[in-house]
Amino acid sequence: MTKPQRVAVITGVAGGIGRALAKTFALEGYHIIGIDRKKCHLPHAKCVTFDLARLHLWRTEAQEFIKNLQLLCGGRVNALVNNAAVQIVKPVAQVEPQDWDQTIAVNLLAPFWLTLRLLPQLQRSRGSVINIASIHARLTKSNFGLYATSKAAIVGLTRSLSIELAPHVRVNAISPAATDTAMLRAGFQNETERLLGLRKFHPLKRICTPRKIADAACFLADERSRFTTGSDMVIDAGIGSLLHDPSN
């Protein structure tokens, strides 16, 4: 008997990391259902448009979105990759209530509620949830207070869910450091020397790529990692172990 095709649900699929996730999971033989607030067309994914900031409100549009998503999944979800995130960078003195609302709604509440809404499908396939966190969950800098707090919270949620959803569903996180995406390059305003300096600052002399995050997610979704749950896989080229001494 032929095994049913594995299904992966990936949020934030229109971004650099999301596209890499969709392509890599597709190459591994998964049927991809991508979610993004922007309309997108990918050759290896069925894309659904929805603003995850509204999922926790559980109004008619959210209920219809979940109903449609469950139908697309066909009763099984082998991997749920919670990748979508917002990053509002500003001094704490300038933070507005709506900044907190948007950050927490997308970066924390959406992964929680999406996991719960798809839990029967995940349990049926003994599936895996992968939350894309960040190095900011434990090492951060000025103006990243909202983002860092939300990513620390998603790591904590990962540990909690890994206990409550065991043994049928595994839950893990991935915490990348700087990743070479269009968003990162825009922050450097295409200043090649500054970007090169960032790479050289990492002990491995390079920064992360979306494909490396996707490879890690595929591993955590695979049977090869069936003894791994509640973990936070750090992908940071060693920068998290580096004590920076300005005198050196």
Element (H, E) at 159: helix 145-164
Q: Averaged over 163-184, what is the pLDDT?
A: 93
Query: Which three-class secondary structure state does DSSP give residue 19?
Result: helix
pLDDT in tens, 145-162: 999 999 999 999 999 999
Contact yes or no for 240/180 (Cβ under 8 A): no
Residues 6+ apart with CB under 8 A from 120: none
pLDDT the model gives residue 247: 57
What angle (nearest 5°) sits at the alpha carbon of residue 167, between those of residues 165 and 171? 50
Q: Averaged over 112-137, what is the pLDDT?
A: 97
- Distances from the Cα of 21 to the Cα of 43, 83, 206, angstroms: 13, 9, 20
Percent of the chain with pLDDT over 90: 83
Above 60 in pLDDT, residue 164? yes
> Between helices 60-73 and 110-117, what is the axis angle to 10°?
50
Contact yes or no for 228/197 (Cβ under 8 A): no
pLDDT the model gives residue 3: 67
Superfamily holding 7-178+210-236:
NAD(P)-binding Rossmann-like Domain (3.40.50.720)
Q: For residue 208, which phi and psi values (nearest 5 degrees)?
A: -70, 155
Above 90 in pLDDT, residue 108? yes
pLDDT in tens, 192-239: 888 888 888 898 898 899 999 999 999 999 999 999 999 999 999 999
Mean pLDDT estimate for the chain: 93
pLDDT bin (cut points 50, 70, 90) of residue 191 is confident
Dist. CA 24–CA 22, nearest whole Å = 6
AA letter at 171 = V
pLDDT the model gives residue 162: 98
pLDDT in tens, 43-100: 889 999 999 999 999 999 999 999 999 999 999 999 999 999 999 999 999 999 999 9
pLDDT bin (cut points 50, 70, 90) of residue 123 is very high
Task: Write the DSSP string, 26-90.
Answer: HHTTPEEEEEESS----TT-EEEE--GGGGGG--HHHHHHHHHHHHHHTT--SEEEE--------
Query: Which three-class secondary structure state does DSSP give residue 95?
Result: coil
Residues 6+ apart with CB under 8 A from 165: 115, 119, 122, 123, 129, 171
Dist. CA 113–CA 104, nearest whole Å = 12
pLDDT bin (cut points 50, 70, 90) of residue 28 is very high
